[in-house]
Amino acid sequence: MNALFLTVTAGQGHNSTSFALASYLETQGVNCTVLDTYKYLSKLIGDLVDVGYTSMARHSPKLHLLMYDKAEKASSSEKARKNYLPYTIAEASKSKMQKYIETKKPDVIICTHIFTAIIISQMRRDGVLDDKVPVFGIVTDFTLHPFWEDTEMDYYVVANELLLFEAQRKGIDADKLLPYGIPVKEEFSVDVPASEARTQLNLRDKTTLLLISSSVGFGNITDVLSDIDKVPMDFQTVIICGRNKRLSKKIINTPYNKDVIVVDYVDNMELYMDAADIIITKPGGLTVSEALTKRKPLIITDPIPGVETRNAYFLINNNLAVYAGKYSRICDVIMQLYSRPDKLSQMKQAQDAYGKKHSAKNTGDFIIQLIN
């Protein structure tokens, strides 16, 4: 059995989702290919999307919001959709995409980015894709991005049951919706006691806050850490800086009253989440899904305007997280959480109900059963 994943690099979430699901499928004997689709079709376009997304998110968040709002308006108009750039790219690239798919001979195609779902849908409408090959769309946020309702997928994997009404309201058949959760690595579904995780990571066994940076920036991390430093409690803060060497150097050279442990890129994020008592992150779909899988108190902050703002609304409205920002300082939010065991209990209950363990396994098992 061959599975073809079509992703686009715009941040790392779509790629990570592809690799998480592919990793599980490969343990079941499935041959998986993950294609960075835009970079394959045109390195120039792929690099522009990648760099453009990162640059806008980091330096021009208002422009990012403007483009997202424009996309939402365009998705409701057939005429506007046809003039939207991803549709133009899909029309121009379907011949090259058809040849690639014919060489790979996939038994299933999985789209983890809306742009690739647009390409596959265009190919289906034009009759240049074998309609016997099932196609899955994976929605990698806690809302439906613009244009998903205009795609022709056989199944749509969504974050949880709370998104079913939105999807059906936008015209997607209920029978096509699979609320298995955004696929994350199976390791996130294995719980390690906090003390044991701290021992494995060579951390002190004490209350631990985990602060996760991102590839596209995360507000002013040093300001966040300075604010956390004002909390009148004894704890340590672990900050994951990823590949941002400048950020890690800046934090190391800043004095703090409390223990601050700087960590660069890690491939065992699940263990760091196990070690944490509270997780603080921007509301990206994949990182939030990982945290919800771990059932940890979650503070979200600094959403990228657009889809992450909508993620934040969803999480707050459904008791899955609390928010800290300009008008709700993180030091106050932390103290409020620790003063409200009832709030922590509500968050835990919501995460138990709507955080999805074994998201990659359940999605993968459905795909294998469908093909077999």
User: Would you say residue 218 has pLDDT above 60?
Assistant: no
Tell me the C-alpha distance between 138 and 362, whole Å: 13
> Regarding predicted confidence, which is higher, 56 or 105?
105
Whether 22 contacts 186, CB under 8 Å: no
Closest alpha carbon to 268 in 187, 166, 163: 187
Mean pLDDT score, 21-45:
95
Determine the Cα–Cα distance for residues 368 and 1; give it in Å rounded to an integer: 9
The reported pLDDT for the residue numbered 160 is: 95
Q: For residues 82 and 337, give the distance between their C-alpha atoms in angstroms, rounded to a whole number.
A: 48
Distances (CA, A) of 154 to 20, 177, 178, 202, 291: 21, 9, 11, 46, 29
Mean predicted lDDT score pLDDT of the chain: 91
pLDDT at 220: 76
Q: What is the pTM of this model?
A: 0.93
Does 219 score more than 70 pLDDT? no
Residue 359 has pLDDT above 90, yes or no: yes
Listing DSSP states for 173-213 in one string gives: -GGGEE-S-S---GGGGS---HHHHHHHTT--SS-EEEEE-
Distance CA 354, CA 144 (A): 17
Residue 215: is its pLDDT beyond 60?
A: no
With H, G, I as helix, E, B as strand and everything else as coil, classify residue 127.
coil
Q: Which domains occur in the chain, in start order?
A: 2-182+357-371 (3.40.50.2000), 189-354 (3.40.50.2000)
> Which of left, alpha, beta for 31 (phi over 0: left; psi -120 to 50: alpha)?
beta
Mean pLDDT score, 303-319: 94
Residue-wise pLDDT for 102-150, tens only, equals: 999 999 999 999 999 999 999 999 999 988 999 999 999 999 999 999 9
What are the pLDDT digits (tens) for 224-264?
899 999 999 999 999 998 877 888 888 888 889 999 999 98
Express each pLDDT in 161-192 by its tens digit. 999 999 999 999 999 999 999 999 999 999 99
